[in-house]
Amino acid sequence: TNPRTPLASLSDDDLAGFLAEQRSAYAALQSRGLKLDLTRGKPSSAQLDLADDLLRLPSSTKDRAGVDVRNYGGLEGLAELREIFAELLSVEPSQVVAGGNSSLSMMYSTIVDFLLFGGVDSPRPWSQEETVRFICPVPGYDRHFSMLASFGIEMVTVDMHQDGPDMPAVESLVKDDPSIKGIWIVPTYANPSGAVVSQEVAARLAAMPTAAADFTIFWDNAYAFHHLTQEEAKSADILSLCAASGHPNRPIMYASTSKITYAGAGVAVLAASQANVKWYLGHLAMGSIGPDKVNHLRHVEFFRDAEGVRAHMRRHREVIAPKFAAVDEALTTGLDGLEIAQWSHPTGGYFVNLDVLDGTASRVVALAKEAGIALTPAGASYPHGRDPRDRNIRLAPTFPVLDEVRTAMAGVATCVALAAAEKLVA
Ligand code: PLP
């Protein structure tokens, strides 16, 4: 069989031959006894090592203003750290809150506050609404969806395109339905598609009329600075766009250094209008006397300034860009021309989005597992883990070493081809 012929156009005999070839390739793969893991977007230890000067910092116990960082206080976070993030995110320092080690937990407490108390523009707490629904661009980040599910918030999916969510669909959903209270947006190098929200889409999100006065854009910029090429995407300035459209409180922005310094011991930030910041801090104050300012100061000393963050991200790029190239190479070698798979070519972020033949993603993941290659469960990038077309697989190549990425991805290509051949023969 010619591997460059689209699989669906092979004769029955050739297809049977192709299936037999893939079965023996798979048997060979299984016999290798691999134990590889491409499941989660975690930095590798080589990336974590880049930040190990943190372990010897801070060298001082006082911040710029002379405040002892070891003591209570300063709920909004260290001023100098807020300044660094303000510059990076193109917002004002007063719009930034620097918190603990997880932006996800800042998102969680924001939604809890909406549920219990309502937001700045809410007529009542969300928990007093009959139904609360969020727009979820898919494929998207699994933890966004499981968080909403845990609150009983309903999820309405729209397609995520290369320039952001399907805007006609979003605009028609928010226009008449006051139960639509929010949307998740990962604007830069989205998880998992790698898409970057364009200026035009951001402007439409900012300007669109919404039936809910407190409709909120959860702008999760987790990968804002995580470029894989020299062409560095610039995130749209959603706070200014919304303010200019008369909706200053619509967006709440999040970011963190989880994939900049340490994934378990970085710093997370939230940025929003002054009114939203006051609202967030007001509720936070009931549960905290202040953040870990020692870690804030440690990060300030480590980076020095915004340019220090950018320079550090270039060092990450050197470590992980070859792994993304290895994913593309293995998929191209194994699958190009067969017309049974499409994959993203991200210019940043942590993932490659692989779409296989409809109805075969679960089979591919199961085959890979049997061969010792752990993949994110099929459907993980959809609410409730249900991909209606059973075709989407999220690949996370940063954690394993380069050689393991090559081996694992060659194996994945075999599984994709085998599952497709099985399906087409059946
Ligand atoms: N947001 C997105 C889109 C992510 O992909 C991740 C981690 O994978 C997070 C948030 C988690 O961020 P943090 O470590 O700051 O809680």
**Ligand 1 binding pocket includes 258 (Cβ within 6 Å):** yes
227 domain-assigned: yes
**Are residues 357 and 285 part of one domain?**
no
**Are residues 287 and 142 part of one domain?**
yes
**Are residues 315 and 298 part of one domain?**
no
**Are residues 374 and 333 part of one domain?**
yes
pLDDT exceeds 80 at position 37: yes
**Ligand 1 binding pocket includes 392 (Cβ within 6 Å):** no
End of a domain among 247, 278, 303?
303
Mean pLDDT of the chain: 97
pLDDT tens column, 344-402: 999 999 999 999 999 999 999 999 999 999 999 999 999 999 999 999 999 999 999 99
Which residues constitute the domain of residue 284? 72-303
Q: What residue's CA is closest to ligand 1, atom 5? A: 191
CATH, residue 397:
3.90.1150.10
What local confidence, expressed as pLDDT, does residue 1 receive? 43
Rounded mean pLDDT of 292-306?
A: 98
End of a domain among 303, 336, 366?
303
> What span, in angstroms and rounded, lies between the C-alpha atoms of 231 and 199?
16
Domain total in the chain = 2
Ligand 1 centroid vs 294 CA: distance in angstroms? Answer: 22
**Are residues 140 and 14 part of one domain?**
no
Index of the ligand 1 atom closest to the CA of residue 259 = 14
DSSP conformation class of 385? G
Kind and range of the H or E element at 102? none
Index of the ligand 1 atom closest to the CA of residue 255 = 15
Q: What residue's CA is closest to ligand 1, atom 4? A: 222
What local confidence, expressed as pLDDT, does residue 31 receive? 96
Ligand 1 centroid vs 103 CA: distance in angstroms? Answer: 7
Ligand 1 centroid vs 104 CA: distance in angstroms? Answer: 6
**Are residues 232 and 351 part of one domain?**
no
53 domain-assigned: no
| DSSP for 276-312, written as a single string | HHHHHHHHHTTT-S---HHHHHHHHHHH-SHHHHHHH
**Ligand 1 binding pocket includes 147 (Cβ within 6 Å):** no
pLDDT tens column, 108-161: 999 999 999 999 999 999 999 999 999 999 999 999 999 999 999 999 999 999
Quote the strand ranges of 276-407, DSSP E: 341-343, 352-356, 373-374, 392-395
Q: Could you tell which of 105, 143, 399 is best to mutate to test the pocket of ligand 1, judged by most ligand atoms within 8 Å of the CB?
A: 143
Q: What angle do the packed helices 274-284 and 103-117 form, to 10 degrees?
A: 90
244 domain-assigned: yes
Strand pairing report for 36-37 and 96-98? unpaired
> What span, in angstroms and rounded, lies between the C-alpha atoms of 68 and 270?
23
pLDDT exceeds 60 at position 2: no
112 domain-assigned: yes
**Are residues 385 and 325 part of one domain?**
yes
**Are residues 234 and 124 part of one domain?**
yes
> What span, in angstroms and rounded, lies between the C-alpha atoms of 183 and 216?
7
**Are residues 209 and 105 part of one domain?**
yes
What local confidence, expressed as pLDDT, does residue 426 receive? 84
CATH, residue 150:
3.40.640.10
56 domain-assigned: no
Percent of the residues in the chain that have a pLDDT greater than 90, as a whole number: 99
**Are residues 32 and 173 part of one domain?**
no
**Ligand 1 binding pocket includes 193 (Cβ within 6 Å):** no
pTM of the model: 0.97
279 domain-assigned: yes
End of a domain among 303, 335, 367?
303
Rounded alpha-carbon distances, angstroms, from residue 64 to 10, 61, 67, 296: 70, 10, 7, 12
**Are residues 299 and 212 part of one domain?**
yes
55 domain-assigned: no
**Are residues 332 and 224 part of one domain?**
no
Index of the ligand 1 atom closest to the CA of residue 40 = 8
What local confidence, expressed as pLDDT, does residue 291 receive? 98
382 domain-assigned: yes
**Ligand 1 binding pocket includes 141 (Cβ within 6 Å):** yes
What local confidence, expressed as pLDDT, does residue 21 receive? 96
